[in-house]
DNA sequence: CAATAAGCGAGACGGTACGTCTCGTCTTGCT
DNA sequence: AGCAAGACGAGACGTACCGTCTCGCTTATTG
């Protein structure tokens, strides 16, 4: 006996409408002001259809992250051949896109989501891991730019991202000089 | 002439009761489940007395932080004379106190508060600045332990704290080896 | 085509619980001390369920009136065959039941409700109209007791009820002699 | 020893400011939306100064009535020599001034005040009594217009006023024909 | 090819908390 | 002592969402 139950299967249209509505509302209102009822209305979907598949709004957001509906590709560090300059660019770039001290900073919203929902937290973290674009960039620097072979790739990545998060939380910015000092200290 | 008005003056008893109730509830339930009504009830105070002086629960929490009602003294790094070992101890220690992956991690609650409230964010950040215990510890290492004079004190502090925050958000831990790699990369 | 919507239908149980709770509280505490929160609590119902169907407490009370939950049947005048004696009995009887000068006089509460809510006012008035028991009683007197055919039924009824209301508002009573004078003047 | 206490005596300026503010607000917002705080603010007076002298807003309104700040003189029936026509005029006139079915009907507000406050109720009633302008008018008709000597003056007055109150509560009007029927029934 | 059972939209339900308003009391400093 | 000002504990207001629960409709599988 297979475990096919009778009746219709999950509606892909509803799933997509929910995720897209969530992404839309998340970016326009932030995580705190995101509500299940708002998502349902925006998606033209019954509330039960959300609750049937996700236990909480945090989990819907986590799925949005997974589908790449929340974070832009600009998060990938540039590759000019100068690892230090590239990382400095990446850091200062973040604040233009995600973490402006004013406004409803998207990055702060994601941090709030991660603080409130384990799945979101783990998801974000795993996107920084050994297979992330940041790690790739550092590995490339080791092979092609003579960066020290024993550079602890993951720790360096986490330190950089962590510093950015801290600045986002404090509603301040990292100016270029500060970013250079940070990268300098980390990469020797 | 000063601007002394006539009429009753702010009740210090109410102010204290509110801050203490807030700290108590914050630690037992976390930031998300902290409510203005709960604080008022716990403090034995009318809601209006809270709203009269603080615009939102985030601001009450910010004042709790300022009064030292939320964070323990164990946040001060040890001073054994070995800066690297002390920082590693501090990092791994944090997770025993504040950021256990299970439970309502106090640190995650503070992060949520900071993400949702600018004052909390700035308050936390300023407690890491040039006058913080972390900066003091690094400065001491420069003077007494031969740490490189050009070590960027603030950036190193932020990288460490940021890495801790990132791990707290991801519900993971920094084991000693990882902490050592991080400190090693930062202090050369 | 009828306008049948899909989805759940109004809960009759909730409707009844609300009206009964309202009647209970109205009679024990009076209109002024009746609160939406009190009704909701007494009925075991969410406040929104009340606000969904009635815009104000006055309208809930109006529905109670309509359902006969507030006024007893003793408001029907007796029919002994002597219209004057019956009306005098009715008037003096009212004060024993509804308008005792002390206490939270039910009649005064209904007047307050009518003053504050158009629906209640209209409802009470329409229960005095051409189809009321008072009008029926007077009509019967015209047919069977030789009361003047041109007696203005509605005006007489309103004058009597109005005089009762006025006495209720003034916290006084109509003793039998006064009632007899009033009825005498009205019915010639 | 006399019972002169030390300290300032009651401020007549404050008393007047309160009564005038009350009358102003009563007429613009109605009894229900009249608040002690609103009166104090409008009068430029501390709340305690009101509570020191009046136990509730109803009592302040009662004093306003007593001082004639609420009801206009147009309540006096005309004296053309035709008692029936004069009373009909008076009745229909009331609705132009006080009891228009739309709007915040001043008369309904006074009824609400009387329903909620014994003093207001008694005050209104006593202004209808043996010494009232209505009674005077009827007495004059007995002496000068040949109205029956045994006309029960007070009961007739109360029936008329009561009928008006009832119509005010029901948000309806008395048109001239109805008023004439009522007066006809009462005065024979 | 019914019968059946799940997914779906809509939205009512019992609740909790929001932020505001007003109550009646109390406190302060001035007159 | 009276007063203007206004903070205080209390609690109701009307609204927004929560997560659960019917409804009546549509759709796929299974006997």
At residue C3, the pLDDT reads: 54
What is the longest distance spanned by two Cα atoms in chain A? 66
What is the longest distance spanned by two Cα atoms in chain C? 63
Question: Which residues does chain C have within 8 Å of residue D159's beta carbon, measured at their own beta carbons?
Answer: 159-160, 162-163, 182, 185-186
Q: Tell me which of B154, B169, B175 to substitute to probe the interface with A (most A C-beta atoms closer than 10 Å).
A: B169
Tell whether the model's pLDDT for residue D7 goes beyond 60. Answer: yes
- Work out the minimum CA distance from C14 to partner chain D, whole angstroms: 29
Beta-carbon contacts of residue D181 (< 8 Å; ≥ 6 apart): C152, C155
Q: What is the DSSP string of chain C?
A: ---PPPS----HHHHHHHHHHHHHHHHHH-STT--HHHHHHHHT--HHHHHHH-SSHHHHHHHHHHTTSSS-GGGSPP-SS-HHHHHHHHHHHHHHHT--SSTT-HHHHHHHHHHH-HHHHHHHHHTTSTTSHHHHHHHHHHHHS---TT--HHHHHHHHHHHHHHHHHTT----HHHHHHHHHHHH-
Beta-carbon contacts of residue A34 (< 8 Å; ≥ 6 apart): A22, A25, A26, A57, A61
Location of structure tokens 């039910």: C106
Using CA atoms, how far apart are residues D15 and D77, in angstroms rounded to an integer? 32
Tell whether the model's pLDDT for residue A39 goes beyond 50. Answer: yes
Rama region for C4: left / alpha / beta (φ>0; ψ in -120 to 50; rest): beta
Residue B58 CA, chain-centre distance (Å), reads 14
Mean pLDDT taken over chain C: 91
- Over the stretch A106-135, which tens digit does the pLDDT of each residue have? 999 999 999 999 999 999 988 887 788 899
At residue A185, the pLDDT reads: 95
Count CB atoms within 10 A of the CB of residue B8: 6
- Work out the minimum CA distance from A48 to partner chain B, whole angstroms: 24
Which of A152, A160, A172 is closest, CB to CB, to B125? A172
At residue B2, the pLDDT reads: 53
Percent above pLDDT 90 for chain B: 81
At residue D187, the pLDDT reads: 93
Does residue D19 reach within 7 angstroms of strand F, measured from its CB? no
- Over the stretch D31-87, which tens digit does the pLDDT of each residue have? 999 999 999 999 999 999 999 999 999 999 999 999 989 987 667 899 999 999 999
Residue B53 CA, chain-centre distance (Å), reads 22
Q: Do the Cβ atoms of B182 and A159 come within 8 Å? A: yes
DSSP secondary structure letter of residue D43: H
Beta-carbon contacts of residue C81 (< 8 Å; ≥ 6 apart): C144, C145
| Among the listed residues C86, C105, C41, C64, the one whose alpha carbon sits nearest the alpha carbon of residue C179 | C86
Q: Tell me which of D108, D157, D170, D186 to substitute to probe the interface with C (most C C-beta atoms closer than 10 Å).
A: D170
Mean pLDDT taken over chain D: 90
| Among the listed residues A86, A85, A107, A104, the one whose alpha carbon sits nearest the alpha carbon of residue A167 | A107
- Over the stretch D63-79, which tens digit does the pLDDT of each residue have? 999 998 998 766 789 99
Identify the band that residue D104 occupies on the pLDDT scale cut at 50, 70 and 90: low
Chain E: nucleotides below 7 Å from protein CB are 3-31
**For range C118-144, the mean pLDDT:** 90
Identify the band that residue A1 occupies on the pLDDT scale cut at 50, 70 and 90: very low
Percent above pLDDT 90 for chain D: 75
Using CA atoms, how far apart are residues C169 and C107, in angstroms rounded to an integer? 9
Q: Chain D contact for C111, CB < 8 A? A: yes
| Among the listed residues D171, C41, A122, A183, the one whose alpha carbon sits nearest the alpha carbon of residue B155 | A183
Cα–Cα separations (whole angstroms), residue A18 to A25, A113, C136: 10, 17, 64
Domains and CATH numbers, chain C: 12-66 (1.10.10.60), 73-187 (1.10.357.10)
Q: Any idea of the CA torsion for C36, C39, C43, C46, to the nearest 10 degrees?
A: 10
Identify the band that residue C156 occupies on the pLDDT scale cut at 50, 70 and 90: very high
First to last CA, chain C: 58
**For range C160-175, the mean pLDDT:** 93
| Among the listed residues A84, A85, A110, the one whose alpha carbon sits nearest the alpha carbon of residue A97 | A110
**For range A165-182, the mean pLDDT:** 95
Tell whether the model's pLDDT for residue C103 goes beyond 60. Answer: no
Least confident of A42-46, A96-100, A113-117: A96-100
Tell whether the model's pLDDT for residue C121 goes beyond 50. Answer: yes
**For range C13-38, the mean pLDDT:** 97
Dihedrals φ, ψ of C40, to 5°?
A: -60, -45
At residue A98, the pLDDT reads: 82
Which of C114, C152, C181 is closest, CB to CB, to D152? C181
Counting CB pairs under 8 A, whether chains B and C reach 3 or more, is no
> If you count residue pairs, one on A and one on B, with CB atoms under 8 Å apart, how many are there?
128
Instruction: Give the chains touching B; criterion: ≥3 Cβ pairs < 8 Å.
Output: A
User: By the 8 A CB rule, do A46 and A104 touch?
Assistant: no
At residue A141, the pLDDT reads: 97
Using CA atoms, how far apart are residues A68 and C77, in angstroms rounded to an integer? 78
Supply D36's token pair. 């002690």
User: By the 8 A CB rule, do A99 and B145 touch?
Assistant: no
Identify the band that residue C126 occupies on the pLDDT scale cut at 50, 70 and 90: confident
Q: Chain A contact for B170, CB < 8 A? A: yes
Q: Do the Cβ atoms of A165 and B164 come within 8 Å? A: no
Cα–Cα separations (whole angstroms), residue D97 to D60, D72, D75, D91, D107: 23, 9, 9, 11, 9
Tell whether the model's pLDDT for residue C130 goes beyond 80. Answer: no
Distance A72 CA to E8 C1' (A): 32
At residue A72, the pLDDT reads: 77
User: By the 8 A CB rule, do A162 and B163 touch?
Assistant: yes
Q: Which of residues 62-101 of C touch strand F (CB under 7 A)?
A: none
> In chain B, whose CA is at the least distance from the CA of A129?
B170
Using CA atoms, how far apart are residues D182 and C186, in angstroms rounded to an integer? 8
At residue C104, the pLDDT reads: 62
Identify the band that residue C102 occupies on the pLDDT scale cut at 50, 70 and 90: low
Tell whether the model's pLDDT for residue D103 goes beyond 70. Answer: no
Tell whether the model's pLDDT for residue D2 goes beyond 50. Answer: no
Identify the band that residue A149 occupies on the pLDDT scale cut at 50, 70 and 90: very high
CB-neighbour burial class of residue D146 (10 A; exposed 0-12, middle 13-18, buried 19+) = exposed
Please name the nucleotide lying closest to D34, CA to C1': E22
Mean pLDDT taken over chain A: 92
Identify the band that residue C129 occupies on the pLDDT scale cut at 50, 70 and 90: confident
**For range C15-27, the mean pLDDT:** 97
User: By the 8 A CB rule, do A108 and A168 touch?
Assistant: yes
CB-neighbour burial class of residue D13 (10 A; exposed 0-12, middle 13-18, buried 19+) = exposed
Please name the nucleotide lying closest to A43, CA to C1': E9
Counting CB pairs under 8 A, whether chains A and D reach 3 or more, is no
Question: Which residues does chain A have within 8 Å of residue B160's beta carbon, measured at their own beta carbons?
Answer: 159
Please name the nucleotide lying closest to C45, CA to C1': E14
Question: Which residues does chain B have within 8 Å of residue A188's beta carbon, measured at their own beta carbons?
Answer: 185, 188
- Over the stretch B93-123, which tens digit does the pLDDT of each residue have? 998 888 776 656 899 999 999 999 999 999 9
Residues of chain B predicted below pLDDT 50: 1
User: By the 8 A CB rule, do C154 and D106 touch?
Assistant: no
Using CA atoms, how far apart are residues B113 and B121, in angstroms rounded to an integer? 8
Using CA atoms, how far apart are residues B187 and B95, in angstroms rounded to an integer? 22
Supply B91's token pair. 């990092």
């Amino acid at each position: 006996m297979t475990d096919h139950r009778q009746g219709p299967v999950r509606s892909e249209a509803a799933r997509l409408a929910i995720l897209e509505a969530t992404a839309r509302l998340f970016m326009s209102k932030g995580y705190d002001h995101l509500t299940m009822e708002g998502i349902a209305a925006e998606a033209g979907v019954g509330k039960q259809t959300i609750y049937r598949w996700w236990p909480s709004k945090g989990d819907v957001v986590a799925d949005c992250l997974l589908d790449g509906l929340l974070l832009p590709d600009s998060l990938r560090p540039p590759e000019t051949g100068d690892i230090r300059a590239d990382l400095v660019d990446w850091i200062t770039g973040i604040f233009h896109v995600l973490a402006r001290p004013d406004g409803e900073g998207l990055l702060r919203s994601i941090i709030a989501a991660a603080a409130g929902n384990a799945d979101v937290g783990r998801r974000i973290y795993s996107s920084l891991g050994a297979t992330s674009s940041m790690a790739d960039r550092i590995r490339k620097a080791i092979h092609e730019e003579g960066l020290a072979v024993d550079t602890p790739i993951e720790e360096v990545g986490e330190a950089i991202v962590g510093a950015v998060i801290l600045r986002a939380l404090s509603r301040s910015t990292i100016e270029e000089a500060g970013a250079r000092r940070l990268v300098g200290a980390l990469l020797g």
